[in-house]
Amino acid sequence: MNNRLQKDTDKVPEPTLRRLPWYLSNIKLRKEKGEHFVSSTQISKEINIDSSQIAKDLSYVNISGRTRVGYDVDELIDVLENFLGFTDVHKAFLFGAGSLGQALLGDSGLTHFGLKIVAAFDVNPDLIGREINHIPIYHIRSFEEKMKEYGVHIGILTVPINIAQKVTDDMVAGGIKAVWNFTPFRIRVPENIVVQNTSLYAHLAVMFNRLNFNQIK
C-alpha cells in the first residue's frame, strides 16, 4: 500500500467497525452448523440489520460474494478476523490494577480477539511485584523503562477518576498511541491518539432507567 495515498476518506466508519463483529459471530455459528455459503440477506434475517447495510459494510472488507451463492463461510471468517485485527497480537499495558483492572487482567478471553496485556501498573505496595494471570504488576514509575522493553501501543485505563487525566497524559507522553478508557471520566487526548470509551456505568445507567420506565408503565 502506498502510504502517502491513504486519506481520511479511506477510513472505515466506526459504526461499520462495530457491526462487523456481529456478522463474524453469526457466520461462525453457521460454520458450526455445517453451512458453506451465506448471503447478506440470510445474515440480515437473524440479526435485524438491513441486508443492504450488511453488504455495504462487507464492501470495506476485501472479499466478494458470488451471485446467488453468497460469501464462502470459511473465507469470510478468515478475512473478517484478519480485517478486524483479531488474528494479530496487540500488546497492551493496563494502568490501575484495582477491582476492574484485576478483572480485565484475569480475562484470558481478550487474547482470542488480538489483545495481550503484557504488564500492569499501580502504586499500591500490596500489588507491586505480584502477578495476576501471569501478568506482572509494576510500580507506575517503571512505565517508561517498560515501554522500551515491551514496545506497547495500547494503554488500558482503569484508575480512579481523580487521576484519570493525569495518567492519560503520562501514557501519551510515554508513547502510548491508543487509550481504552474504562473510567466514567471523559479524558482529553491529542488528535492523533485513539480513544475508545467502554463505560460500564453508562450502560448500567441506561439499563436501570429503562427497567424502571418499563415497570412504571
Interface positions, 71-90, toward its own copies (CB under 8 A): 84-86, 88, 90
Q: How far is the CB of 105 from its own copies (least distance, A)?
A: 8
Using CB under 8 A as the binding rule, the residues of this chain from 152 to 181 that contact its own copies are 153-154, 161-162, 177-178, 180
216 binds its own copies (CB under 8 A): yes
Using CB under 8 A as the binding rule, the residues of this chain from 16 to 45 that contact its own copies are 17-18, 20-22, 24-26, 28-29, 32
Residue 118, exposed/middle/buried by CB under 10 A (0-12, 13-18, 19+)? middle
Output the nine-digit C-alpha cell for 194.
485513539
* Alpha helices (runs of H) in the chain, residue ranges in sequence order: 14-32, 40-47, 51-59, 73-83, 99-106, 143-150, 164-174, 200-216
Output the nine-digit C-alpha cell for 96.
490501575
Output the nine-digit C-alpha cell for 107.
480475562
Q: How far is the CB of 102 from its own copies (least distance, A)?
A: 7
Nearer to its own copies, 56 or 210 (CB): 210
Output the nine-digit C-alpha cell for 12.
472505515
Output the nine-digit C-alpha cell for 57.
459494510
Q: Which amino acid is at 150?
A: Y
Q: How far is the CB of 37 from its own copies (least distance, A)?
A: 20
Using CB under 8 A as the binding rule, the residues of this chain from 179 to 208 that contact its own copies are 180, 183-186, 188, 192, 194, 196, 198-208
Q: How far is the CB of 143 from its own copies (least distance, A)?
A: 19
Total length of the chain: 217
Q: Which of 6, 52, 64, 124 touches its own copies (CB under 8 A)?
A: 6
Q: How far is the CB of 68 from its own copies (least distance, A)?
A: 26
For the packed helices 40-47 and 14-32, what is the interaxial angle rounded to 10 degrees? Answer: 100
Count of residues near its own copies by CB under 8 A? 76
Q: Which amino acid is at 187?
A: I
Torsion sign over Cα 146, 105, 140, 87: positive
Nearer to its own copies, 91 or 142 (CB): 91
Site track for its own copies across 90-129, x = CB under 8 A: x-------xxx-xxx-xxxxx--xxx--------------
